[in-house]
Structure 1
Amino acid sequence: MTRWINIVIILYCFLTIVGCTEKPESVDYTKYVDPFIGTQHEGHCFPGATTPMGMVQVSPESYNNYYKGYEMDHVTGYQFNDPWLIGFTQTHLNGVGCPSMSDILLMPFGKKDIDPSSRFNYRSTYQKENEIATPGYYRVYLDDHNVNVELTAAEHSAYHRYTYDHADSAKLLVDLQYGVSWDINSISSNVLEANQQFNDEYTLTGYRKGSVWAPRDLFYVMKFNKKITSKSILSAPENKEEKAPRYILGFDMEANNQLEVLIGVSTVGVNEAKENLEAEITAWNSFDKIRKQSKQKWNKILRKIDVEGSKDEKIAFYTSLYHLFIQPTNIADVNGKYRTASNEVKDASCGKFYSTLSLWDTYRAANPMYTILSPELVGDMLTSMLDSYTTMTIDPDNPKEANRYLPRWQLWGKETHTMVGNHAVPVFVDAYLKGIKPINYTDEQMFEAVWTSVTKPHYRNHVELIDSFGYIPYDAKRSSIDDGKETVSRLLENIYDDHCASLLAKELGKKKEFDFLINRAGFYKNVYHSESGFMRGRNAKGEFKENIDLTEVVGEWVEGSDFTEGNAYHYQFHVQHDVPGLVNLMGGENAIATKLDSMFYSSSKPEVKTLVWNIHGTMGQYWHGNEPCHHVPYLYKYSSKPQETDKIVKTLVDDYYHNRPDGLMGNDDCGQMSAWYMFSSLGFYPVDPCGGEYILGAPQISKAVINLPNGKEFTMEAKNLSDENHIVQSVTLNGAPLDRRYITHKEIVNGGILVFQMGCKD
């Protein structure tokens, strides 16, 4: 009898162990994602439903009483604490600093008498406990309209499901003019042209060309599962002329209180929008099926990294991973066609066309993270950017477009001319050096695009002045693109691109081009003001500016500005490609440690004095909420005080990232803030984001396993990690001491175990 009892006990223990050991495919990682993180204040994230890299992001638009700085808060259409929702739109940007998108607003309601003279009179209050968001799904109950709203999405399609408490009075507002902009009162100018038509009693199709940030072509098909029984066109609010109409639709609800709406979109045409929709959503009453598919797609992304830690740590990490893979977005149709910047319809070389490229932000950490987790995606992104380059229309009469260049900040295939530098270049070169290449393009074609981008003049790329002076004088002008603004930042960021291009030239055996580029990459020394120890603007005579306010944040909005969304402290350290050279320039390891201390432990903070801009996420003069600072905490590793990196990274992770709506202290900027968090939590960071070296920092989670695309695993362990033990004592790689400040990309993708021994001693 005892023998049988023992067998039963052993069998029970075996089954228990098996039952508790989940395979990655069975784990629901989406439960650790909170889409509301970053939706309050400066995070500028949206809570609605989308798929990884999907063209559609269906999400609510919120509204508050107008206040100073309202537009800055609402560039992505939603703020968590707003008391009203005004509808649900089909497209959004994640974490950006400029407004655009929020196309095609729908608002279900049941009231018969709403004054249409204001666009916002159809708003509704809601209770936060009745608002739910998970990857691929959003739900809210509209208190004023007695409607439960559910949203999910496929790549090119939005799926709305409305459940009315009173089906007999069910109505739907369709606002084809609405979109976010810099002025809430200028929605009437958001659309440049539009046309639309009801094809039958169940279908509305049309076209709208949005004007905000960059002109965008959007074709759509909207289908209803209930017959339209009434439709009325509302007058434009405040009697302003508008290009696109607002409709109020009524339906034959067939004694059913549920209305479903499907919306397919395309940049090419209405027929393509229909094809996209029909390929992705094949039947009515399939909302739950599409939601499940979206969830599965997100789990496929989220399982790329297995994290051990507390629930809060997992939520912070997996939400960051979620934000990272919302963009860039694939705007090619299911048949691979897309609309170019020159308004031609082309076949994407790889079948997909990735746009929404916030490269000034993402080249720093987001793009290097993609090279680890999704090299195939990186190859497609490179291909898309070369497609953009080769289809670009040159206009000799327009200095901005007189030469081709790789995308800078591209929105739905259209260049916005936002920010400085040509930071597609480091993305290309970093990927190439890691063995990732574009599809259907040769090395020579890629180099030609890189070379032209960094050596031919175009908007904010002042190569003629740089080649003549060795810097950009703020008082010299060779063409209409020379405006004397942001001159130090434009130099420093452009010559970083030169450095990256030189690495590609060297790899391809182009000595002449390498010599030219590597020489120009050293021009940061030409704007270093040795007396003050800061980078500073110079005039054509070579004289440095005097009496500079070191704390003032300036940009293109300031005449004669030195910097781009930054101040002298921030760009003091913007030499990512030659940190040892910068250390020597500043006087050595002790000197740069002192300079870093003066930044992080300053009693003053950076300040925008010419705009309504409340800066969040500062530590002394360090500004974590904006990207030019992101590598600076790791510069202590090049100084006499390397342990300061460990301390500051812990402070930034603990105090600047929180699992709450205001948990991002700055714009997420298409995943860059999130990528910084992921790298820093894993214990390494790409100070120079080109070439494959990651500076070792201090991990913030106890263990993570990167499930590499090649089938291998790379494991990071932080032994003895705690709030007290946050200083790195030693590091081993595959059991051998790692007595250097970096780990390489090759070492990561080959798989292995990186172990940090943590302690409290400096």
Structure 2
Amino acid sequence: NKAYKAVAQAAHYREGGFLYPAAGVREKVNAKAKYYNDTLGFVPCDLENESVSKALEYAYNDWCIAQMAEDLGHEADAAKYMERAGRYRTYYNAETGFMRGKNEDGSWKTPFNPKFSEHRRDEYTEGNAWQWTWFVPHDVKGLEALMGGTKPFLAKLDELFTTDSTIEGEHSSSDISGLIGQYAHGNEPSHHITHMYNYVGQPWKTQALVHEILTTLYFNNPNGLSGNEDCGQMSAWYILNAMGFYSFCPGDPTYSLGRPMFDEVTIKAGSGKTFTVRAQNNGPKNMYIQSARLNGTPMSQPFFTHDQLVQGGVLELKMGAKPNKRALIAD
């Protein structure tokens, strides 16, 4: 309960009650953006830089708090933070199909260019609208509905990876790097996006993109990363995906399947147990999962849970050179 109390308090702006080692720390921990989110229900772009990025991260953070509240039996708090977790919808502009900045009066900021970036001085942190529109890891189905359903969602997601990689703006963020279309693997806010296809019935596209990134955006030399190594995330992405899975939404103890680089990996799961990922017929061209079995049981979806991992067992993936579009189709 103490941990829950701490994270719940940290989600809100507080006038007093904290001791800060420096004013700069106060501005980060007790950001004015939290005040706007508390009092206005959104973060206005004419009052706060990086407003869209901050607001989307607040929504995800609030979703995580709601999970804690639910587990602890705080039903009123769970409902409160789930409402806040849905505030990402405030920033979606249906006309353009992107998350955009809103002024205090509720009007959209104009002009708008989804490829534009002005480092730390526009609505997006180290990115642009193309990269940040997808930061709703806690509610992919909700984002899909905002975009008009599965077909338009997939069309937009495909376009992210196929549109040209031009980043516009005289002072664009240098953190936008490792580009595939407008997907920026060199910066962490994009890292979950390749696995979104698993949630909308096209897991073979996740497998192909993960393969492309693992083999073209990581190198065994001093410049081996395509972007900055904030908190070890660039390496963490590689390690997990090279084993064949990824934590799509921390806070949800579910792993999303990708494309394993190794024929066999064994993880020590604790209490003397191990979890083995075994890829049959694996190879440089055999990037697609043909079928999957967990502890001998056929898998119908491209997901397994952390509980299943720590209980130990064997994940068997049969690989092939062509996508099996009927395998691992999520409901």
Which of 256, 261, 274 is the equivalent residue of 1:695? 256
Which of 217, 225, 244 is the equivalent residue of 1:656? 217
CA distance 1:475–1:506, shift in 2 (3 Å): same
- Report the counterpart of residue 665 of structure 1 in structure 2: 226
1:589 matches 2:150:
yes
C-alpha distance after superposition, 1:296-349 (max 9, x if no partner):
xxxxxxxxxxxxxxxxxxxxxxxxxxxxxxxxxxxxxxxxxxxxxxxxxxxxxx
CA distance in 2, matches of 1:510, 1:565: 36
- Report the counterpart of residue 511 of structure 1 in structure 2: 75
Q: How does 1:253-652 map to 2 (within 5 A)?
A: 444-457=1-14, 458-460=29-31, 462-476=33-47, 484-556=48-120, 558=121, 561-607=122-168, 609-610=170-171, 613=174, 615-652=176-213
Q: Following TM superposition, where does structure 1 have runs of at least 4 consecutive aligned residues deviating by more than 6 angstroms?
A: none
CA distance in 2, matches of 1:689, 1:615: 23
CA distance 1:646–1:685, shift in 2 (3 Å): same
TM-score by length of structure 1 reads 0.39
Give the residue type in structure 1 aligned to 2:99: M
Give the residue type in structure 1 aligned to 2:33: H
Q: Would you tell me which structure has more helix in proportion to its own residues?
A: 2
- C-alpha deviation, 1:614, in angstroms: 7.5
CA distance in 1, matches of 2:173, 2:317: 44
CA distance in 2, matches of 1:673, 1:657: 9
CA distance in 1, matches of 2:192, 2:312: 25
CA distance in 2, matches of 1:605, 1:705: 41
Instruction: Verify the 8 A CA contact 1:729 1:758 in the aligned structure 2.
Output: yes
C-alpha distance after superposition, 1:714-760 (max 9, x if no partner):
00011111222111111110010111231100000110000111112
Give the residue type in structure 2 aligned to 1:453: A
- C-alpha deviation, 1:473, in angstroms: 1.2
CA distance in 1, matches of 2:65, 2:163: 36
Larger Rg: 1
- C-alpha deviation, 1:618, in angstroms: 1.0
- C-alpha deviation, 1:448, in angstroms: 1.4
Q: How many residues align?
A: 309
Of 563-572 and 717-726, deviating more is 717-726
- C-alpha deviation, 1:461, in angstroms: 5.3
CA distance 1:611–1:584, shift in 2 (3 Å): closer
Q: How does 1:230-245 map to 2 (within 5 A)?
A: none
TM-score by length of structure 2 reads 0.89
Identity %: 38
CA distance in 2, matches of 1:622, 1:611: 15
Instruction: Verify the 8 A CA contact 2:267 2:276 in the aligned structure 1.
Output: yes
- C-alpha deviation, 1:611, in angstroms: 5.8
1:717 matches 2:288:
no
Give the residue type in structure 2 aligned to 1:474: C
CA distance in 2, matches of 1:554, 1:506: 39
Give the residue type in structure 1 aligned to 2:75: K
Instruction: Verify the 8 A CA contact 1:555 1:562 in the aligned structure 2.
Output: no
Instruction: Verify the 8 A CA contact 1:643 1:727 in the aligned structure 2.
Output: yes
CA distance in 1, matches of 2:157, 2:101: 21
Instruction: Verify the 8 A CA contact 1:605 1:619 in the aligned structure 2.
Output: no
CA RMSD after TM alignment: 1.7
- Report the counterpart of residue 265 of structure 1 in structure 2: none
CA distance in 2, matches of 1:461, 1:695: 35
- Report the counterpart of residue 327 of structure 2 in structure 1: none
C-alpha distance after superposition, 1:578-618 (max 9, x if no partner):
11111111122222211111111112333563168385311
Give the residue type in structure 1 aligned to 2:80: F
CA distance in 1, matches of 2:228, 2:142: 31
Give the residue type in structure 2 aligned to 1:487: S
Instruction: Verify the 8 A CA contact 2:255 2:305 in the aligned structure 1.
Output: yes
Instruction: Verify the 8 A CA contact 2:176 2:187 in the aligned structure 1.
Output: no
Could you say what secondary structure the match of 1:475 adopts?
Answer: coil
Unmatched tracts of structure 1, length 5 or more: 1-443, 477-483
- Report the counterpart of residue 21 of structure 1 in structure 2: none
CA distance 1:554–1:638, shift in 2 (3 Å): farther
Unmatched tracts of structure 2, length 5 or more: 15-28, 324-331
Give the residue type in structure 2 aligned to 1:446: A
